[in-house]
Amino acid sequence: MKKADITCQIADCGAMAIVRTTSFQRAEEIARGCLAGGIRVLEISCTNNNAPEIIAHLRKTFPDTLLVGAGTVLDGETARQVILKDAQFVIAPNLSKSCARVCSRYQIPYMPGCTSVTEAVQALELGAAFVKAFPISDFYGPKLVSVFKTPIPDMPLLASGGITLDNLADYIRRGCDICGFGGLLTKGSEAEIAASARAIREIIDRTRQQNS
C-alpha cells in the first residue's frame, strides 16, 4: 500500500494502540484484542530496542488485517531501519527533517510531534500525513484540537496522552482525526483489551455520525 492508502485507512479507523512491549507473545495478544474490538492500528514504540523485530513479526502474523507502525522515531536513521522491517507508518514526539525525507522517499506516512502552530505548519510543509499534538495534549485536553483546527481547519491531527472513554467524544466532536491510547488498549487480558477497543470504536462511530 502506498502512503495515501495507509493514511486513509488510519484516518478511517480513528484510533490506535500505543504498544510498549518487548514480548512477541504479548504484542500478538494486544493485536488480537484490538482487532476483536474493531481497532486495527498499532504503534510499536522504539523506546524498546527490539521494536523493529516486533513490527516485522506482527506484519507477518497479521498481514492483511493490521496496520503496524513505529513510534518514537527521532531521526532518519531510525526511520529507515523500521521501514526496512516493514513499518507502515512512522510517528515521533519531535519534528525531524531527515525523518520526513526518509518517509517521503519510501512513501510512508509520517506523524511528527508538534507543540505550536508554527511547528505544525512546518510539518505539513515537509509532507507530514498527520500532526501529532504531543505532549501538549496531556495538558490542554480536548480543547487542544481547537487550538490547531480553528486557524487551520484542514490540519490532519493525531492526539495522544490523556484520552479516556469519558473525553473521547469531545476530541472527535472538535475534529481530532486519530486518537492514540496506551493503557486502555494495551493493559489487561486479551478479552479486556477487546472490550475497551469495542467501547472506543462505538464512541468514535457514534460521534462521527452525529457530526456528519
Catalytic residue among 132, 149, 187, 190: 132
In angstroms, the CA 92 to CA 108 distance is 13
* Residue 97 annotated in active site: no
Q: Is 43 a catalytic residue?
A: yes
Helix, coil or strand: residue 63: coil
Walk across the sheet containing 67-71 and list its strands: 110-111, 90-91, 67-71, 41-45, 15-19, 178-181, 157-160, 131-133
Within the chain, strands assigned E span 15-19, 41-45, 67-71, 90-91, 110-111, 131-133, 157-160, 178-181
For residue 127, the one-letter residue type is G
Which of 43, 53, 60, 77 is flagged as catalytic?
Answer: 43
Give me the active site residues, please: 43, 132
